[in-house]
Amino acid sequence: MLAACSRVAWPRRGGALPEAQGYADPEALAGLFSRPFAHSIDCGPQPSGSEMAPVRPEFSMSHLVSEAEAFGILQARRAQLVKAAASALAGVVSPDDAAQTAATLLEMMIAAYEGSQAPSSGVEALPRKAFIVFGDNLVPLLKDIVGEPPVGFLSRCVDAYWRSAASVLEPA
């Protein structure tokens, strides 16, 4: 029953838990945790089987994704990221050019992530505001596409993007 219910009624003293009252008495605190399952609360019927929402494996917290796996997911879902980024860029560039702009900026970020030179064709012609909007939306976009990627993956992508963007945007 406790596995299906996370709420447990702990023994109380004076209407509040001892640590909430500021007690530092180790014996009082030890008494709280010596019998944690003695006063469990019935949470009622729990959803089972078809009643539960399906969990996609890439969003499950039990499966931690490595940076290499996150990059593979990004590569596989590149079109989805471009589509999502295009909607964010629609106010900066024309809606017809938004997808191409997003694809160009994503390609620039991936090239910098892999340590190679960013493709120069078309990148210099993009408006400065497009670089800013894409960069500001990069982490939410990556989380939407990849799921819960490692923080290291997110930071490497953001660093690679802004490093590459800075090299394109800096005055000659």
Name the token pair of 36: 């944690």
* Averaged pLDDT, 81-92: 93
- Of 17-21, 53-57, 154-158, the range with the highest mean pLDDT is 154-158
| Residue type for position 43 | C
pLDDT of residue 65: 84
- Contacts for 18 with CB less than 8 Å, ≥ 6 apart: 25, 28, 29, 32
Is 164 in contact with 108 (CB distance < 8 Å)?
A: yes
Task: List pLDDT tens digits, range 118-170.
Answer: 666 678 889 999 999 999 999 999 999 999 899 999 999 999 999 999 988 88
Residue 49: per-residue pLDDT: 53
d(C-alpha 88, C-alpha 106), whole Å: 13
Greater model confidence, 6 or 95: 95
Res. 52: pLDDT tops 60: no
Regarding pTM above 0.85, the answer is no
Closest CA to 154 of 166, 167, 141: 141
Q: What pLDDT score does 116 carry? A: 86
pLDDT confidence tier of residue 171, bands split at 50, 70 and 90:
low
Q: Are 63 and 146 in contact (CB under 8 A)?
A: no
> What is the spatial distance between Cα 5 and Cα 43, in angstroms, rounded to a whole number?
6
For the chain, domain boundaries: 1-54, 57-169
Q: What is the C-alpha to C-alpha distance for residues 97 and 51, in angstroms, rounded to an integer?
A: 43
Q: Can you say how many angstroms the Cα of residue 162 is from the centroid of all Cα atoms in its chain?
A: 19
Average pLDDT over residues 8-31: 49
Contacts of 145 (CB under 8 A, 6+ apart): 73, 74, 77, 80, 81, 84
Average the pLDDT over 107-126 and give the result: 85
